[in-house]
Structure 1
């Protein structure tokens, strides 16, 4: 298939022999309609040259056409950003690894100096405050060893900044003696960011703001920024959360396409969505979580089977019914990775229509679920199990303390809650059976206390 494609292109434009010698030519032609020499091939030619090479001479050697020239320059530029190539003082292309250069990430220190953490996991290199003036914490750089300090650690000199990773910085804006500047909340960013007159927007001195860096720091200039968002007073309620979100680059606003897809979903389970699923809504499944939980991921049900042991059902929300591979919701969920919990606030992985709605096993509503239906012996061994998609109906939202008070007799459940007691008692009995089997296997318990923000 790829051969036919390459032949088809060859009839339109005769490919020079030197280009066909590219070991990765077939891969490139699968990716691009007009394939360029691969990165590996460019590195190979520069290695064979044994000396720095002029970019125009390399383009001529590879028979780069006028139409390809801009794309070829972009490829060379990308290879420079990735630390594969660099330009020497004569603006000639060099292989970075032949110059004993080290690629790594900058780790800033509040006292003004820093370190380079190499990608090859070798020992860190020290960066003086003078070198740190050129970069910010997190930037990717190419450095060379410039000497050793009194403790025998390698000292580095920055040869090239490959990538400035800080586009937005959160901190406190100040205006003093006619000069506006930002002190970053992240103490690893030691240098102030200048905010020229007219770039402060509506910010007032002392307020917490987000600044967009319009000019990155260099050997002879400070970082310059523009206020893009005013968060408010440093002592305002919830400000520590707003700062943490931006300080750690946590995505907290859903893109329009994600919001649009979430808004298109129904607000309840439709009958057509139940097709092909087992209906177990008659079973009194319940959720048991902490008092402050807002989303309910799993529901449980247990019934005793006499000498045969127990039947245990664990149901989790079937997110895959609403989130399909590579759609906007899937991509955003992959980007976020998980929900982030702060005191009094949650940054969900998926929009609230899903996280607190369709994919939360809320009480007394139908929900689509994936179920594991198990039979467990009286000695705690799983005898049978089955997975299946189902429709469930959570009969109650319970808390750990609430269930324990009922089981211990500290509080008597009301008439409706009392209907659940046989199943909760079966759950408790099964828990003790499994705990005993676990201890028999030699499991270790690590006692811990859950931190709670008041």
Structure 2
């Protein structure tokens, strides 16, 4: 493979001083220790015109006066500009380069040729050059840690060499493939490639084919490609499934004697219709004096998944189950997730339980955390349980009505204490036998969804406070934290809603959350609802896992963790193990090791969420590909300098109206107003505005749709 050659175009007379300045600056930065005169520079840059050479001398003198270069000997110059080196993370990428985070929340754009093939999430060492014309310049000088080393795509064999063209269009490079790794059966297929060399001296990273995913444009191939692209293998290694299948299903008498036996207590699950992995169950038992014992029972995965074993290592690597449009990729092998650990009805199951002693006004009087054995009497769906609550008759109606009443009071208290409520309906696709989307429907939350949510929140909060309070003596633990909103975004939101007649009180975190709830309530049904809700959500921080407890702002909890879903979330499994350890008085886990685990799980959660969104985009394009030319009402869901993102009201499918397609004026992006505004007409297209569009193109390969305004 040929070494990368620096591209130097032949310069013509009349070349501007500004462009010549930029060219010289790049050249001196590439040769920081060399002493160069104008003849050497002209030769290297292939400048032959005398007029441009004279310009070059003048620009070099200007650079010396600006103390960017210095004259070491007469006519000879060397780079002297001061630089700053920092370690950071690549935030985003496109075909032209990468965006790297700076202190204070700012970002710097680094062109592709100075990025060392870095990608989003990579930890990098960056050198920052002095600002010129208020613009920061920089270069990636080392990639400390690469987060992605495997890529999905199609092999291009149109030249004498083989290259992988990655599916992910944010990747700025193709991958040169070792000829020996490419076989005839790899061509015209989706393949998985692993990078084996990142040498910046070459034009491309070097990789080899490690597997065939399937036929191009095949549905399963495309869905599996999404999974592989985000680092999730659709299948478990044979040693993991074999290990799971060998686990004894019989619960020993000795184990039952070591636990609180609750098999005779009324217990049931409430889950979605299509659920198979039942993480949680509720029990209800009447006590004296108007008190009730309400049990939150969570599958005791830690009993079956031995720490450090082959199943545990695989579960850690995955960190989460992945929920795509047409399938679930579980964190644990199906024998565990859908069978042995699942709290199915009419079978004995091991659980980790929190037993709450409560009155009917939702006051928490006491609680116990302990290992149990339970026996679920009934498997409800959200719909069947809601029907019983609404009609006040049916199986376990008294217990369901009690839980519904208490959960409503818990929810009301939570709002009063500052918990922020974002209500949204979930879009679901109706699929035919070949997994093609034929319709969409909106899945609204029922009272039973809120019922389960409140008791899970109560359990998670109780567990976190049990270990984390008081903070001075707290042992290392896994918390689910949510930081304060971005102050600049809240200020921007405040200015926008003020013009609409609303207000936001940002004098304290508590007052802010209360005023946001009032705002979200007041905009319901108004034309500005979509815009205000979108901007409010965007102002919020992302919840993460960490050992450093700062509380959960969105829930208004001082202590919060994840305890209730160990079948599908690895942090929950870790929390179970830590509880075991600390309740038994064992030595605390090292905080730095736990923090690394938290970081890994937060990253995998983000990747799973991105995979889910990509699968939705793929299905949206599939759903609309036969509807090109049709017109729809939509709402502007995003505004950028390159166009308007529009969500179709009827089906929530999103596409892009490119600014270049709007021909009636020249439109400029106004970041503060979240709008594109016409220079002459002053016509405005703003976030949340209703417009009419026509579907122009549906591109399955890129998972994107192009709309035009009607």
Q: TM-score, normalised by structure 1?
A: 0.67
> For residue 21 of structure 1, what is the aligned residue in structure 2?
none
Residue in structure 2 matching 1:431, options 402, 407, 415: 407
Any unmatched runs of 5+ in structure 1? 1-97, 413-417
Paired with 2:317 and 2:252, the residues of 1 have a C-alpha distance of 29
Kindly indicate whether the alpha-carbon contact (under 8 Å) linking 1:203 and 1:209 is maintained by their aligned counterparts in 2: no
* Aligned counterparts, 1:203-218, within 5 A: 203=185, 205-218=187-200
Displacement, 1:449? Answer: 1.6
Kindly indicate whether the alpha-carbon contact (under 8 Å) linking 2:83 and 2:128 is maintained by their aligned counterparts in 1: no
> For residue 167 of structure 2, what is the aligned residue in structure 1?
185
SS at match of 1:269: coil
Paired with 1:356 and 1:259, the residues of 2 have a C-alpha distance of 13
Residue in structure 2 matching 1:128, options 111, 129, 134: 111
Paired with 2:422 and 2:145, the residues of 1 have a C-alpha distance of 43
Q: Which moved further from structure 2: 211-220 or 440-449?
A: 440-449
Q: 1:317 to 1:143 in 2, by over 3 A?
A: closer
Q: 1:207 to 1:423 in 2, by over 3 A?
A: same
> For residue 142 of structure 1, what is the aligned residue in structure 2?
125
Displacement, 1:317? Answer: 1.2
1:167 matches 2:174: no
Paired with 1:365 and 1:377, the residues of 2 have a C-alpha distance of 30
Q: Which moved further from structure 2: 431-440 or 194-203?
A: 431-440
1:401 matches 2:377: no
Q: Which moved further from structure 2: 301-310 or 376-385?
A: 301-310
Kindly indicate whether the alpha-carbon contact (under 8 Å) linking 2:95 and 2:171 is maintained by their aligned counterparts in 1: no
Displacement, 1:186? Answer: 2.1
* Aligned counterparts, 1:39-438, within 5 A: 100-106=84-90, 109-117=93-101, 123-132=106-115, 134-138=116-120, 139-146=122-129, 148=131, 152-195=134-177, 197-203=179-185, 205-250=187-232, 252-254=234-236, 258-303=240-285, 308-409=290-391, 418-435=394-411
> For residue 41 of structure 2, what is the aligned residue in structure 1?
none
1:287-341 superposed Cα distances (whole Å, 9 cap, x missing partner): 0011121200111122455861433222111222223444444444333332222
Displacement, 1:394? Answer: 0.9
Q: 1:100 to 1:277 in 2, by over 3 A?
A: same
SS at match of 1:408: helix
1:402-443 superposed Cα distances (whole Å, 9 cap, x missing partner): 111233239x8xxxxx44333323333433454555566676
Kindly indicate whether the alpha-carbon contact (under 8 Å) linking 1:136 and 1:166 is maintained by their aligned counterparts in 2: no
Displacement, 1:286? Answer: 0.7
Paired with 1:106 and 1:442, the residues of 2 have a C-alpha distance of 34
RMSD value, Cα: 3.2
Displacement, 1:238? Answer: 3.0
Kindly indicate whether the alpha-carbon contact (under 8 Å) linking 2:117 and 2:173 is maintained by their aligned counterparts in 1: no
Paired with 1:322 and 1:112, the residues of 2 have a C-alpha distance of 49
Displacement, 1:249? Answer: 1.7
Paired with 2:169 and 2:113, the residues of 1 have a C-alpha distance of 17
Paired with 2:312 and 2:301, the residues of 1 have a C-alpha distance of 10
Q: 1:441 to 1:377 in 2, by over 3 A?
A: farther
Kindly indicate whether the alpha-carbon contact (under 8 Å) linking 1:310 and 1:430 is maintained by their aligned counterparts in 2: no
Displacement, 1:187? Answer: 2.1
Q: 1:258 to 1:149 in 2, by over 3 A?
A: farther
> For residue 94 of structure 1, what is the aligned residue in structure 2?
none
Kindly indicate whether the alpha-carbon contact (under 8 Å) linking 2:98 and 2:118 is maintained by their aligned counterparts in 1: no
Kindly indicate whether the alpha-carbon contact (under 8 Å) linking 1:108 and 1:190 is maintained by their aligned counterparts in 2: no
Displacement, 1:197? Answer: 4.3
Paired with 2:421 and 2:282, the residues of 1 have a C-alpha distance of 23
Displacement, 1:171? Answer: 1.6
